[in-house]
Structure 1
């Protein structure tokens, strides 16, 4: 069909759902493990990418254990800077012109003198990478559902101190980890702190749990975007509310399948979300553990759902429109999307 041969790598886009540790190249985590004298599990060495499922507590524990193994390899300033720089380089190679990299600095803080130094190192490298890679990098600070809600308030205040709208700034506040743990309502105060500073509210909701948890996030966290949010499709009323509130869904098909939310990529209800009028920004989530990157999500949209290049362009537009990119970056990316769509297919 016409338009099916345009390169998705060349399609300008934004990347709104990428986790700090999960963004690492697999050979990078191996090199860091060697550097610090650590031993990695086979799923990150000879058996990569790992076979995962998080449909039950045991499956999530295995996923979290692998994630923690990778995170333990990040132990100094050089490591932090390398992750940011390589994430920007990899995104630039895939046509991503704006990246909002999500990080919880809590784990890395002891190695560099505290939460503030860890955050400032990451922000400084985001500014440097923005000037050299072709991808503008901003940061989302995320609290963990596995920790006490009071810690989330501390992170929200930290994020507020560095709030801004350009590369090298904190642009959003998130809530990540297993949706089945903790009470979402208890994090409401932290999100109020972040919103007062002008930060985007970008909590995870609606992947491991269904539309009922999307509803809870809508009621208590006033989201601008939802990390995943794909399960909103399970309840037409919840999905209608998402559409009416103009909330962008950060849909990560590779993650959905790897964690057992859907059996195959063709089962991910991307067309149903789009038909309902939802704004969808595709994301890679954790390439280190899932083995797929940003353009793989666009290729799946084309191959597994038969979406045309016009629809792929709409997905790219939704990604930049749902971002916190400054006006000049938005204009440039949107113009690039139009040019990509009008170019003669290879």
Structure 2
């Protein structure tokens, strides 16, 4: 008879991925919306949704400017329903609830407040609302929260500087500064001043790069914006020397497999090179990006890498990497990393 308190080892692939502690570091505000919430809000506002959104069909587009335009059109259609403080607070809380249900212990959610400022009285109130609700969520739900203020490549770099200065004023709950939208638009180096402002104010540098464009673009992002983490970065696999640099500098990659397939970067989920990146020693934080459009949340990304043949030990290492790459306190990280190990050892 087994001793009381011992645990039989779990078989490979049988550990419950939902109970694996993990940090979610790549999730966009509007893109986090539940489909039921979108439908409810659209109906209440008499807004007609595009068929893809109305039918909850996972978006899949060609990897071109035309494809991105289609993606952006759907995103903008969803964003139209987010037109009040009450709705903003609701979306953030529901995103946290969904993450918590999938085993997230930390959510660092990205928002460009410019899109919501007209409905709440300006940029400052928009950030105030998000920061206040994030703090309330931490108290109410127990999930650790961080906010990334993101500039858009589609706007002037001076707008990015304004956002960076504002973000620094809320350093703490606001822990990062990002740059999103179509990587093929804008001049990356022209956003360097905004990122300097953010870094000097104590914020992590977390720009997008290396999904739609390959290694030359990643080099430009690394050289100009000095990222702490790289949003996506998956195409660094195409240049081993570049990947070695990312590993050496400990620049974590926020890899979003469902996004990569929906945006036509890879044909199938099994083609996303998460195992290869991990074997090179890259720190990887799996993310859902925009689950409203891509049809799968964070847990599905972990299920996908299991389907790629990654072992439970390797998946636990991915989760540990996401926690280390987060902006949780060192005390919190230590506690959560112990829980990851317990998950693998069968004690969780």
- For normalisation by structure 2, the TM-score amounts to 0.95
Measured in 1, the distance between the counterparts of 2:62 and 2:192 equals: 26
Contact 1:88 1:130 (8 Å CA) reproduced? no
- The corresponding residue for 1:60 is 68
- The corresponding residue for 1:89 is 97
Secondary structure of 2:146's partner?
A: strand
Structure 1 position 281, deviation (Å): 0.6
- The corresponding residue for 2:44 is 35
Contact 1:200 1:223 (8 Å CA) reproduced? yes
Larger displacement relative to structure 2 (325-334 or 172-181): 325-334
Contact 1:153 1:190 (8 Å CA) reproduced? yes
Structure 1 position 265, deviation (Å): 1.0
Measured in 1, the distance between the counterparts of 2:176 and 2:171 equals: 8
Measured in 2, the distance between the counterparts of 1:78 and 1:141 equals: 20
- The corresponding residue for 2:163 is 155
Measured in 1, the distance between the counterparts of 2:27 and 2:220 equals: 23
Structure 1 position 344, deviation (Å): 6.7
Measured in 1, the distance between the counterparts of 2:310 and 2:224 equals: 34
Residue pairs, 1:93-132, within 5 angstroms: 93-132=101-140
**Partner of residue 190 from structure 1, selected from 189, 194, 210:** 194
Task: Point out the structure with max Rg over C-alpha.
Answer: 2
- The corresponding residue for 2:336 is 333
Measured in 1, the distance between the counterparts of 2:59 and 2:160 equals: 31
- The corresponding residue for 2:149 is 141
Could you list the per-position Cα deviations for residues 214-249 of structure 1 after superposition, in whole angstroms to 9, with x for gaps in the alignment?
100111000000000000111111111111111000
- The corresponding residue for 1:203 is 207
Q: Does 1:259 align with 2:263?
A: yes
Contact 1:54 1:63 (8 Å CA) reproduced? no
Larger displacement relative to structure 2 (314-323 or 128-137): 128-137
Change (3 A) 1:137 1:54: farther
**Structure 1 unaligned regions, length at least 5:** none
- The corresponding residue for 1:306 is 309
**Structure 2 unaligned regions, length at least 5:** 1-9
Secondary structure of 2:17's partner?
A: coil
Larger displacement relative to structure 2 (327-336 or 116-125): 327-336
Structure 1 position 54, deviation (Å): 4.3
Could you list the per-position Cα deviations for residues 300-323 of structure 1 after superposition, in whole angstroms to 9, with x for gaps in the alignment?
1111x2111111110001001001
Could you list the per-position Cα deviations for residues 240-298 of structure 1 after superposition, in whole angstroms to 9, with x for gaps in the alignment?
11111110000000100111100111111111111111111100000000001101111
Measured in 1, the distance between the counterparts of 2:123 and 2:89 equals: 15
Residue pairs, 1:265-280, within 5 angstroms: 265-280=269-284
- The corresponding residue for 2:293 is 289
Contact 2:22 2:323 (8 Å CA) reproduced? yes
Secondary structure of 1:31's partner?
A: helix
Structure 1 position 331, deviation (Å): 2.0
CA RMSD of aligned residues (A): 1.2
Structure 1 position 343, deviation (Å): 0.6
Measured in 2, the distance between the counterparts of 1:128 and 1:37 equals: 31
Measured in 1, the distance between the counterparts of 2:226 and 2:325 equals: 15
Measured in 1, the distance between the counterparts of 2:59 and 2:194 equals: 35
- The corresponding residue for 2:53 is 44
Q: How many residues align?
A: 339
Structure 1 position 72, deviation (Å): 0.9
- The corresponding residue for 1:25 is 34
